[in-house]
Amino acid sequence: MAELGLASRREADEWIAKGWVRVDGEIVSELGSRVGPHQRITVDPAARQAQAQRVTILLHKPVGYVSGQAEDGYQPASVLVRAENRWRGDRSGIRWHPAHARGLAPAGRLDIDSVGLLVLTQDGRIARQLIGEDSEIEKEYLVRVRYDRPGRLPDVFPAEKLKLLRHGLHLDGHALRPAQVSWQNDDQLRFVLTEGRKRQIRRMCEAVGLKVVGLKRVRIGRVRLGDLPPGQWRYLQPDESF
């Protein structure tokens, strides 16, 4: 069901437990049941209705908050999802309900020292779309850096090292996917990645002698951070998609 994009694995488990899933017209009651390629999976409308009520939040994460569970005394970014922090520019038309702040999971990392667009969702399909192993959704970052040689960075930073940032680095024993990396201005790089290993950009920069002094995620797929102020959030609009 997850591979077909019908639901997340957790949702599928819940639906099967509630008797909302049928294979070739027969209710499936056992988790992990095998389904052949020519068999037909159908889902009760009640499951679709429950899925439609799940929300996705776009948050401008400030420095000092972790993306997921609280750690080392730092609060998770989800604590900012309160009625008073909702951006006045939210045009989604969705009415706030306290239940929207429960069960939110981050769809991608943004470390404690980084800022920008963080997606928090109750919808497992969106989480899979953004962070599944086969995801190719682009994430765009603006990264302020320092280098140990004086002068204008685009002039003094070696071209071969910039080429290495684009393709050829390894992290944790894995070759990184090709990335788009270019100079945005005298001390800022623009990165576009299709993967998200832990502290990936910081570690990539360290590997070529750059020190990251500021990192901001400004886009995920077709969804941009835009004018969303730091510490505020909005709903993903019904007509938006990553």
**Distance, CA of 197 to CA of 176 (rounded, Å):** 9
* Helix (DSSP H) and strand (DSSP E) numbers for the chain: 6, 14
50 CB-contact burial (10 Å; exposed 0-12 / middle 13-18 / buried 19+): middle
**Per annotation, catalytic residue among 24, 111, 113, 148:** 111
Contacts of 14 (CB under 8 A, 6+ apart): none
Take residue 147 and report the two structure tokens written for it.
Answer: 């280098």
Active site residue 111: yes
Q: Quick one: CA torsion of 214, 219, 221, 224, rounded to 10 degrees?
A: 170
Give the catalytic positions in this structure: 111
